[in-house]
Amino acid sequence: MNSKSPFKWRHFQEEFILLCVRWYLRYPLSYRNLEEMMAERGLSVAHTTIYRWVVTYSLELNQRCRSHLRSTNDSWRVDETYIKVKGDWKYLYRAIDSNGNSIDFLLTDHRDAPAAKKFFLKAFGHSDSRKIRVINTDKDKAYPKAIEELKESGILPDSVEHRTVKYLNNIIEQDHRFIKRRVVASQHFREFGSASRTISGYETMNMIRKGQIKNVERGNVLGQIKFIHSIFGIAV
């Protein structure tokens, strides 16, 4: 864990900043919604300030959570969904296991073999590729090409089976909804970098919500809050 406080020089208390960030990432709220909700509590904070907090701390949240995640299983479900950034459609690659646990994600400009390969390489950085048994995708031609290149380079074992069974990916198509609802509430993104950082926060809160944190079960909201405070070094 990074011992340096990420809240240094902030004018608001750490707990208040994390509250705004957590609510924005967890629930389908806009920045103006949060500004009004804080005003009802007698706290004056501009929606633009909340936006900066979310962009700043979303990636930090993801990085600090990674070492606390439970292991995923050996059967992957991979798919991509569309996200609008500055009026243009981008592609969010996502992977979960057969139990619905999130593995990784990547926002890209393109939907092709290089983008798919880049996503797999990122995912392998968080999960041991040698333990993968099955990767199920849709029938997009980019996937078999990317998987074959990864096998040829020795990064992915030859024993990994690539399937394109449509019903097996129903679980990830349903999982997309958590992310899509938050993107709609945000009224889409204006810049690729901030979109990527914010989505990392959405994905991390989705992992926490699903009970993927060690010793913090699904539905234990207070436990989830305590966990987030603890990884940021805030006394609980």
pLDDT tens digits for 195-225?
999 999 999 999 999 999 999 999 999 999 9
User: Can you give the pLDDT at residue 184?
Assistant: 79
Closest CA to 201 of 61, 48, 87: 61
User: Can you give the pLDDT at residue 105?
Assistant: 97
79 and 165 co-located in one domain: yes
Please list the ranges in the chain whose pLDDT falls under 70: 1-5, 8-10, 185-187, 236
Does the reported pTM lie above 0.85? yes
Identify the domain containing residue 18 by its residue range. Answer: 14-69+191-231
Measured distance CA(41)–CA(230) in Å, rounded:
25
62 and 79 co-located in one domain: no
129 and 168 co-located in one domain: yes
134 and 199 co-located in one domain: no
User: Can you give the pLDDT at residue 9?
Assistant: 53
129 and 200 co-located in one domain: no
47 and 88 co-located in one domain: no
| 103 in any annotated domain | yes
User: Can you give the pLDDT at residue 13?
Assistant: 84
User: Can you give the pLDDT at residue 235?
Assistant: 72
pLDDT tens digits for 115-137?
999 999 999 988 877 899 999 99
User: Can you give the pLDDT at residue 65?
Assistant: 96
Whichever domain contains 118, its CATH number is 3.30.420.10
User: Can you give the pLDDT at residue 61?
Assistant: 96
**Domain boundary residue, one of 177, 201, 221:** 177
User: Can you give the pLDDT at residue 1?
Assistant: 44
User: Can you give the pLDDT at residue 4?
Assistant: 62
Tally of domains in the chain: 2
